[in-house]
Amino acid sequence: MSVDKDIMTATAAPAVASGTAQHPGSAGLQLKGITKVLGGRTIVDDLDLTVHRGELVCLLGPSGCGKTTTLRMIAGFLTPDAGSVQIDDQDVTRLRPEKRPTAMVFQNYALWPHMSVFDNVAFGLKLRKLPKAEIVERVQEMLELVNLTHHIRSRPARISGGEQQRVALARALVQRPAVLLLDEPLSNLDAKLRVRVREDIREIQQRLAITTVVVTHDQDEALSISDRVAVMNGGRIEQYSSPIDLYRRPSTKFVGSFVGAMNAFPGTVRHTDGTLVAVLEGRVEVPVDPGDSAPGTSSSTGSEVGVRPEDVTVAENGAGAPGTVSRVIPRGHFTEMVVVLSESGSDQPLTVRAYLDNGDPLSVLQDGAQVRVRFRSVLLYADEVLT
């Protein structure tokens, strides 16, 4: 798939240190041009990825984009048709899974139901015929780390889903792998537990400083635990950045829409009398409030304008593109509003969001209110056919 990555930001995005700054050491994991064809289709397509030692990276993307296939090639359950996998500078591309310094936590945990928590965690160490005393010591150490010593004799069916998840994590970590792999580790948990367990995973990962790759289709999960996120689409990585960079500076329309909400219109930006203006659909002119404008926006040739809902401001008076409020939706800590721009040739509405800590100006507006619309920041894509 060809993706035009040419994008400019019309107002400043915060300068954010990427994960690389936190992990200046050498690569813990390197994928070089890995490709996998399954059932006659290219599922992973010439993919490069470097994960620094001790870094947690999420592979994020929609269903079917090749995340799990990539993870399975790292673990050795699948062999790439082309390219290489390196762990701590050692080429492991042709090694069998059990010969690789990796450990995987599966989506369904894959615990042995007839074995105790202790035996589940000890299983791999027994296979490796380690001395009994060492096995006991290592298993206890891991169960302490995941806070499960009180369940050491329990069977998996007797403990909660979150606890089963921690047993699976302990079973992987007890192997002391160089790279920890987690495939949708939270998908079997309810929403509240998911937040707690993902924080536990992050804390343990940081405490052990273990190189980790997590597969998820949940952007919230990816943004909250990762040093860097690789957004995948059609077997390729479209962007690989820190969570904040990914949100503030999405490099393609696909990434902008997949990570967070985005209003996208055909259009461009231009400077008129020293003011930056977004021109949507060739006719609606929306002023962009001066920030630290990125260089180059005055001579842009982009054809798609993206605006985050929180970067739209509306007021009953003043300058701005005229619009009509068609819906006000209270959403707890923020209010969402749908606005139809009066001069728009299409019926595409604009979603606006105001947070309570900004004084929530939207909550005083009613359906049908006439408003003036301005933008605080826009993203300009050079190619509208990105996905």
User: Can you tell me the distance from the alpha carbon of 25 to that of 303, in angstroms, rounded to the nearest whole number?
Assistant: 40
Pick from 217, 228, 353, 374 the residue near ligand ATP by CB under 6 A: 217
Q: In what order do the strands lie in the sheet with 56-60?
A: 102-105, 179-183, 211-216, 56-60, 228-233, 236-241
User: Can you tell me the distance from the alpha carbon of 214 to that of 99, in angstroms, rounded to the nearest whole number?
Assistant: 21
Show the beta-strand stretches assigned E in 316-378. Answer: 321-330, 334-341, 350-355, 370-375
Could you tell me which stretch among 47-55, 66-74, 116-124, 322-330 binds ligand ATP (CB under 6 A)?
66-74
User: In the Cβ-directed half-sphere of 267, how many Cα atoms lie within 13 Å?
Assistant: 24
CA angle 157, 158, 161 (to 5 degrees): 70
Range 68-97, binding ligand ATP (CB under 6 A): 68-69
Pick from 2, 14, 15, 63 the residue near ligand ATP by CB under 6 A: 63
Q: 254, 260 in Cβ contact below 8 A?
A: no
Pick from 10, 56, 65, 139 the residue near ligand ATP by CB under 6 A: 65
Residue closer to ligand ATP, measured from CB, 217 or 236:
217
- If binding is defined by CB under 6 A, does position 102 make contact with ligand ATP? no
Residue closer to ligand ATP, measured from CB, 40 or 282:
40
User: Can you tell me the distance from the alpha carbon of 239 to that of 222, in angstroms, rounded to the nearest whole number?
Assistant: 13
Residue closer to ligand ATP, measured from CB, 184 or 304:
184
Site size toward ligand ATP (CB under 6 A) is 12
What does the block give as tokens for 204?
Answer: 């343990």
Pick from 19, 66, 76, 156 the residue near ligand ATP by CB under 6 A: 66
- If binding is defined by CB under 6 A, does position 64 make contact with ligand ATP? yes
Contacts of 259 (CB under 8 A, 6+ apart): 60, 219, 223, 229, 231, 246, 247, 250
Closest approach, Cβ 106 to ligand ATP, in A, equals 12
Residue closer to ligand ATP, measured from CB, 60 or 321:
60
Residue closer to ligand ATP, measured from CB, 219 or 293:
219
Range 21-40, binding ligand ATP (CB under 6 A): 38-39
Residue closer to ligand ATP, measured from CB, 106 or 123:
106
Could you tell me which stretch among 56-64, 135-143, 258-266, 326-334 binds ligand ATP (CB under 6 A)?
56-64
Query: Which stretches within 59-108 are classed as H helix?
Result: 67-75
Contacts of 136 (CB under 8 A, 6+ apart): 122
Closest approach, Cβ 362 to ligand ATP, in A, equals 35
Residue closer to ligand ATP, measured from CB, 19 or 235:
235
Q: Which residues lie near ligand ATP (CB under 6 A)?
A: 38-39, 43, 61, 63-69, 217
